[in-house]
Structure 1
Amino acid sequence: MEIDHTMSYARLVAKLERYDAYRNAPPSGRGNAARAPRSHWQETYSGPSMERPFPLLLFVFAPAPRRAAPATREAAFCDRACRVGNVGYRFIVATTTLPLPTRHGADGPVWRVVGNSHGEERRALAALPKAR
């Protein structure tokens, strides 16, 4: 989860591109005869406790002095982030503004899926799509 109140859109999107590159890095060669080599991401974050092979990337936009309102920053970030190659396909990015989970809880219908064709629709955390 990323909580933003100071980062520029360019830096946030660059961070998202690094997550994409990290997710798609080739296997390190570690493995054994019983199991094929897995990428560093899989070695670090996959396992029985993880429901997803790649966790959600959650961005929370918080109020900040001398910055646009969180909803404005969220909309601008979503517009830029949907252009990152694997967003919405190989990994899921969801955003919200701090007042929403504060009011409805993080499990409530507060998350907007980046690249979602339904635009403004907000979903509960459990209802977010899984990466393919």
Structure 2
Amino acid sequence: MSRALKLERYDAYRNAPASGHGNAARAPRSHWQETYAGPSLERPFPPVLFVFAPAPRRAAPATREAAFHDRARRVSNVDYRLTVATTTLPLLTKDGADRPVWRVVGKSHGEERRTLASLPKAR
């Protein structure tokens, strides 16, 4: 499955309507809220992270990462309700996941790389 298709499925999962029954204390919540948000709805949907690795007969990881960013910007909730960040395996291996190796998909984030802790929060 392509990364763009995976991203579209994460977007659909994030936006799926609540199923199940609520109770007097709270309204029904969607599956992702039950799984990730815990008792509070304050926590946003977790960031979706993609790592581009070298692959035989494929473009370089950085080239594939750039092409993914172009396609991912078209998914409706990226940069608003869904935080998506990418990196390449060579960069991740060289610097480590806690360093500024993550590039955020979206109109307002440019080319800068960030740490996991500094990724923008989805709304």
Task: Return the TM-score normalized by structure 1.
Answer: 0.86
Aligned residues: 122
Structure 2: which 5+ residue stretches go unaligned?
none
Once superposed, which parts of structure 1, at least 4 consecutive aligned residues long, lie more than 3 Å away?
A: none
Distance 1:38 1:90 in 2: 16
Q: Provide Cα deviations, 1:58-109, integer angstroms capped at 9, x if missing partner.
A: 0000001100000000000001001100000001000000111211110100
Partner of 2:61: 70
Is 2:34 aligned against 1:43? Answer: yes
Percent identity over the alignment is: 82
Distance 2:101 2:107 in 1: 14
Q: 1:119 to 1:31 in 2, by over 3 A?
A: same
Task: Select which of 15, 32, 37 maps to 1:24.
Answer: 15
Deviation for aligned residue 1:29: 3.0
Partner of 1:113: 104
CA contact (8 A) 1:52 1:130 kept: no
- The amino acid across from 1:29 in the alignment is G
Task: Select which of 63, 72, 85 maps to 2:76.
Answer: 85
Structure 1: which 5+ residue stretches go unaligned?
1-6
CA contact (8 A) 1:16 1:81 kept: yes
My pick for the range that moved more, 76-85 or 37-46, is 37-46
Distance 1:33 1:52 in 2: 22
Partner of 1:3: none
My pick for the range that moved more, 67-76 or 12-21, is 12-21
